[in-house]
Amino acid sequence: MGEGLFQPLHLILIIAIALLVFGTSKFAAVGKGLGEGIRNFKASMKDPEAEKKEEAKKEVEEEKKV
pLDDT digits 0-9 by tens, 9-56: 998 999 899 889 888 888 888 889 999 999 888 888 877 676 677 777
* Domain boundaries, position 56: 20-65
**27 domain residue, yes or no:** yes
Top pLDDT among 63 and 30 is at 30
Contacts of residue 1, defined as CB under 8 A and 6 or more positions apart, other chains included, come to 7
Contacts of residue 22, defined as CB under 8 A and 6 or more positions apart, other chains included, come to 30
**4 domain residue, yes or no:** no
**12 domain residue, yes or no:** no
What 3-state class would DSSP assign to 58? helix
Number of domains present in the structure of the chain: 1
**10 domain residue, yes or no:** no
Global pTM value? 0.46
